[in-house]
Amino acid sequence: MTKIQSFPPIEPTSARILILGSMPGKASLRAQQYYAHPRNAFWPIMAELLGFSANIPYPERTQALQAAGVGLWDVLHSCERESSLDSDIKAESMAPNDFNAWFQRHPQTRAVFCNGGTAFNAWRKHVQVQLAPAWQALPVIQLPSTSPAHAAMSREEKALRWRVLLEYLPDSV
């Protein structure tokens, strides 16, 4: 097994929502960019929802998220996994990021969105129980995974389901 670590968060000055993956895949780890796999639907969906081009350079995409009040991170700080598949994560190796520190830095966060079932389940098992009571009450919403491995749903259907995050971003399109 290979031990891997997640990236630092993308942190807007005033985070209204926080989107969480589980752990970057191999393409993302190589590129040192969130959702770097060319078939991952995350950036096209966010571009559609927030009104920017998915083809702009990575730093500009992350700036567009920040300008909209969107934080981006992974539930896990580290884990052991051989492939890019979430199903290959060794359960006993999961170590979460420090979300109490996130919420102290971003008390205006209104909701947490999990990109797929693994992120949602890891949040419930490893994070939510460790949060201060005020943060345990935040809405935590599981969205369909944007991963190309989740091919049972079209990108268009995923984008429709992801629109719910706009309810927590009053200044969005």
Active site residues: 40
**Separation between Cα atoms, residue 10 and residue 19, nearest integer Å:** 10
- What's the token pair of residue 35? 């959702």
- Pairing verdict, β 95-96 and 76-80: antiparallel
Other Cβ atoms within 10 Å of 86 Cβ, number: 23
Burial of 92 (0-12, 13-18, 19+ CB in 10 A): exposed
The 3-state DSSP class for residue 11 equals coil
Residue appearing with tokens 């947490």:
112
